[in-house]
Chain A
Amino acid sequence: MEQLLQHLLNGLVLGGTYALLGIGLTLIFGLMNLVNFAHGEFYTLGAYAAFAALALAGVNFFVAVLAAIAAGAALGALCERVLLRPLRAESIDTTMLVMIGVWIAMQNGELLVWGGVAKSIPHPFPTAPLVLGPVSIAPLRVFVFVLAAGLIAASYLLIHRTKLGRAMRATFQDRDTAALMGVRIGRIHTATFAFGSGLAAAAGALLGPVFLAYPSMGDLAALKAFCVVILGGLGNLPGATLGGLLLGVAEELGAGYVSSGYRDAVGFVIIILVLLLRPSGLFARQERIG
């Protein structure tokens, strides 16, 4: 029982990080219909930006997280303006190939700048675990979970309750009509991509101190993010959140009670089942034809 409680707690905390990775991608992949293979690299960028701010510039941890988000959003905006805007009329395959290029370029750039040796990102939280009856958890992970929940809630409000969010949804539902209604399409594209990239960078800045920062850290993160988006349904923020939590708990229980060697396989088995039985995602609502 004690073991089960600890597994569930581990799974929820892990799932929270998957959800955070997933919401940024679900905006870009789901709303913009852009297969963003570079998502994991924005995550890596966030971790290294936080490392640079903390270990080299010596700023406060919270300032470092904000700086990482700003760096991710800025590079995301640049990427959209320079690489994706000229290709807006092209097919999804073309932009996918461009994003694969961005992925390779960014990962090798990180290797060039930071080297292959993993960096440990300092954080101000005590390392002694919080003991809650039979289970225990690191204070940093509680903080990350709470902040992830906050970011997810803020993103949801932005998409569903603000004018900018309405313009985003309108643009990706029907670009021409939105343009006729006075929405500035170009800006919305840039803003959405920057927003999604900023969320990925936030995930990197928050999870970097939990784990380690190294150039290939984004590969696994991107893989998990795609899983979460497929589980939750494209462009569905609550879906991505629940999908992330589900994936985290499923992997944890799979590793705990089936076999730790097949931990990642558990996640993929669920995805195959979802694609077979509910191809639009576990939490997809009835599709509205716009």
Chain B
Amino acid sequence: MLKRWVPVVLVVLLAGALLTPAAFAQAPVKIGVIQPLSGPVAASGNYVRMGAEIARDWINARGGIGGRKVELVIEDNKSDPKEAASAAEKLIARDRVPAIMGAWGSSMTLAAMPKLEEYGVPMVVETSSAASITKRGNPWIFRISPPSEMEALGLERYVDKLGVKRADFLAVNTDWGRGAVGAFGDMLKKKGASVGAAEFMDQAATDMNAQITKIKATGGDTLFLTTAVEQITLVMKQAQEQRLGRKIITTGGSSSPTQLIKQAGAAAEGSYHLLFFMPWFPEAMPDGKLAKAFVDEWAKRGHPFEGLTEGFRGHDGIATIAEAIKVAGKDEPKAIRDALWKVRLMGVNGPIKFDKDGPAGKESGQSKPSIFVVQIKDGKVALPDFLAKK
């Protein structure tokens, strides 16, 4: 008699054992992520996603937020502003995320912004550089990446040491590229340097010979290059083919020098890169221990080293949102927005704290990230001479 009941009892016990944790565990905290996972700048977007996943796993390993696990809902914006807007709409309306990180490119971020205001959901901007993002009076925007103006100011004290006297610009034809040309041009003029050609290229363009020929004719000494690593590779190779012979400085932090050394080879030699993370020397970062841990975790997961200069953005963005949810004590969009103003956090890049930017009453948040300069020397990434001697 008892024998007949044994299987039933076992099944009930087993079902109970399986169901109990699910019944008692709280629903996860959702965070939306919009990144270019396909299209011309897919490499960068995927690195940011990898960094975001590290932040998620670290937070969950420490017990999540108030005992609740963090779950990322990741959407692909296909490197396309139109897709960025619909990705934001989907995350908010269908997945009901209380906060978003995104959307890599300035044009993509700008396209997603009206949706944030419409639905009242905050977004932490991890990469975009166009000044207009925090100037438009969208109180749901919190940016941890530097706008081009801030980046230009960061470079200002090195202009003399870099020997920039006559500069030309080549930039991607987006809000980011056009913004950078303006910001760096203004800074250089203030420093007494002259500005020659300002040329643009389509985001998907592969042949930049026409622009390079035009730039070559100006007789300048420095070329400021603003685009993602794929196009930087092509411009450097084509500049070498045409014997451009300029000092090249890349802006925007998406130059991935390690990938350039691999793919552009000798054409990348001597170039300078403005970056927001130096994975080659993590100990030189504001929080050396955190930076080192991030670099080690990245390697442990088998992610390519060259992705680190993008990947940290994903970590810092998710860590910022998680901190805000912790401060707010609930995952409700408006509470997170208010809490973001109170966030004080150490990221891989450095301290994160939001100041007000944009028209009064509708300010966006803007953090002041750390900015670094590195140079490719003898096929390796090094600190430039004027910094290394200190």
Contacts and interface: CB of A to CB of B under 8 A. Distances in A.
Contact of B46 (A116, A141, A216, A261): A116
B217 A3 contact: yes
A117 B267 CA distance: 20
Interface stretch (B158-166, B236-244, B314-322, B368-376): B236-244
B148 to A, nearest CB: 18
A116 B241 contact: no
A10 interface: yes
A136 B243 contact: yes
Contact of A251 (B204, B210, B240): B210
Given A129-B241, A136-B241, A256 B214 contact: yes
A120 B265 CA distance: 11
B241 A260 contact: no
Interface stretch (A88-96, A149-157, A196-204, A207-215): A207-215
Interface string B214-250: 1011000000000000100110010011110000000
Contacts of A117: 42-43, 46, 304
B40 A214 contact: yes
B38 A127 contact: no
A212 B37 CA distance: 18
B199 interface: yes
Interface string B193-204: 000000111101
Contacts of A6: 213, 216, 242
B262 interface: yes
B301 to A, nearest CB: 15
B265 A260 contact: no
A261 B210 contact: no
B210 A7 contact: yes
A274 B266 CA distance: 43
A21 B8 CA distance: 69
A102 interface: no
Given A3-B217, A10-B213, A120-B263, A136 B242 contact: yes
Chain B interface size range: 35 or more
B132 to A, nearest CB: 18
B243 A120 contact: no
A129 B205 contact: no
Interface in B12-66: 37-40, 42-43, 45-46
B195 to A, nearest CB: 16
Nearest to B215: A260
Contacts of A84: none
Given A120-B233, A120-B263, A216-B39, A260 B243 contact: no
A255 B216 CA distance: 14
A7 B216 CA distance: 11
A141 B230 contact: no
Interface string B246-280: 00000000000000001101110000000000000
Interface string A240-278: 000000000001110110011101100000000000000
Contacts of A10: 207, 209-210, 213
A136 B239 CA distance: 11
Contacts of A220: 204-206
B262 A120 contact: yes
Nearest to B37: A116
Given A129-B240, A253-B210, A256-B214, 7 more contacts: A3-B216, A3-B217, A127-B265, A255-B210, A261-B173, A263-B201, A263-B205
19 contacts: A2-B217, A3-B213, A6-B213, A10-B210, A116-B39, A120-B263, A127-B265, A127-B267, A129-B240, A212-B206, A212-B230, A214-B42, A214-B230, A219-B204, A220-B205, A220-B206, A256-B214, A260-B211, A264-B205
Q: Which 7 A-B pairs have the closest CB atoms?
A: A116-B42, A255-B210, A10-B209, A120-B263, A117-B43, A138-B241, A261-B200
